[in-house]
Amino acid sequence: MIIPCPEDFRSYLRYPLTLTLVLLNVFIFILIFSGMNSSISSSSLLQGEGMTLTGRLYYQYLQGLPPEELFEKPEWIHQVKSYNTEQMGVLGAYALRDARFMAQAETFTYRGDEIQISQWKDQLVQFRKKYQQQLLYRFGLSSAEKGPLAWITYQFSHSNWIHLLSNLVFLALIGMGVEALAGSGVLLGLYIFGGLAGGLGFLFSDAHGTVPMVGASASISALLAFYCMAEMRRRVRFLYFVSPMPGQYGAIYLPTLLIVPLFLVVDLASLWSTPEGLGGGVAYAAHLGGSLIGALLGMVYRWKATPAVTPS
């Protein structure tokens, strides 16, 4: 593991806004999310047979769509040719992420065991009700929940402690670098507008998804891209960790532009290689949206900070 650490994190009191953002994320998590339970995890729809049945019924739903609507679905859906159990399980997972299907699935007519299908419809209604009561659904950003406040609240919400701590490490280390370089105002603007750009990227890539996005990752991507562009010619300190053995961890000075292949290119490659709607819980499109606005603002900052050369 290697992460940029431009400033001495032991002097954290010199970076009041970075410290405030870190503490605010922790406070909101403890206040709102730390005691939440996942009441939907036990739903039979999420079990093997329930997921397979959902996939079979979703397949029938897709067959009944007009050609122009079916064309909007990811390319891999067109490759499902049979009622293979494994394929139907994957298709079921996608169905539960399709907002248009979930909003009215119980109103469609399906072929098959009528009693089984009737039970499935009842389970779906209960699943949807419990899902919409989840805190992450109400505070997160998705196609179904994109009110004005959701664009801000999602940036300070996290799904679990690991998600929170992994984001806060990057926020603290790169936030100190940005605050020392450009000041607290720029840091705050980057955090908020990077999050907004990340939200746009997420909704653009998952326009009809039900799974909400939460986390500060898009804002942190904006900070990384900004710092990379604003300090392009500097060598900065990176912290590396291979193992706890002597000589396998410490600091090393490397070009700032190394941030691009280490973090930003990885997000782009992951976005291209992950089927739409079935990512592993990481909103790569949001990272790229935040990175784009951060890079643009970083170039503007560097251009304005470069002293003009007047001819003699």
Position 178 in a domain? yes
User: How many structural domains does the chain have?
Assistant: 2
Predicted pLDDT at 223: 95
Radius of gyration of the chain (CA): 23
Which residue ranges in the chain fall short of pLDDT 50? Answer: 276-278, 309-310, 312
The residue out of 133, 156, 184 marking a domain boundary is: 133
Position 97 in a domain? yes
Closest CA to 223 of 256, 271, 247, 201: 256
The residue out of 75, 101, 133 marking a domain boundary is: 133
3-state secondary structure of 100: helix
Instruction: Specify whether 150 is located in the same domain as 275.
Output: yes
Identify any residues that bridge with 252 across adjacent strands, giving them in sequence order: 238
Predicted pLDDT at 211: 81
Instruction: Specify whether 209 is located in the same domain as 191.
Output: yes
Closest CA to 58 of 94, 6, 29, 112: 94
Position 83 in a domain? yes
Position 138 in a domain? no
E strand or H helix at 239: strand 235-241
Predicted pLDDT at 56: 86
Instruction: Specify whether 61 is located in the same domain as 187.
Output: no
Predicted pLDDT at 216: 93
Position 310 in a domain? no
Instruction: Specify whether 200 is located in the same domain as 251.
Output: yes
Instruction: Specify whether 155 is located in the same domain as 238.
Output: yes
Predicted pLDDT at 278: 45
Predicted pLDDT at 209: 76
Instruction: Specify whether 300 is located in the same domain as 201.
Output: yes
Phi, psi of 213 (to 5 degrees): -100, 135
Instruction: Specify whether 18 is located in the same domain as 52.
Output: no
Closest CA to 282 of 218, 195, 228, 209: 218
The 10s digit of each residue's pLDDT in 28-76 is 998 887 666 666 766 777 788 888 888 888 888 887 776 556 555 655 5
Instruction: Specify whether 153 is located in the same domain as 242.
Output: yes
Alpha carbon separation from 127 to 41, 53, 55, 124, 132 (Å, rounded): 10, 15, 16, 5, 9
Predicted pLDDT at 72: 58
CB 94 within 8 A of CB 58: yes
The residue out of 106, 133, 160 marking a domain boundary is: 133
% pLDDT > 70, the chain: 81
Instruction: Specify whether 165 is located in the same domain as 124.
Output: no
Identity of the amino acid at 185: G
Considering the entire predicted model, what is its pTM?
0.81
Structure tokens given for 129: 């009700």
Instruction: Specify whether 158 is located in the same domain as 126.
Output: no
Structure letter (DSSP) for residue 183: -
Helix residue ranges per DSSP H, 206-277: 217-230, 259, 265-273
Position 157 in a domain? yes
- Give me the domain span that covers residue 91: 44-133
E strand or H helix at 260: none
The CATH number for 293's domain is 1.20.1540.10
Instruction: Specify whether 153 is located in the same domain as 296.
Output: yes
Predicted pLDDT at 77: 61
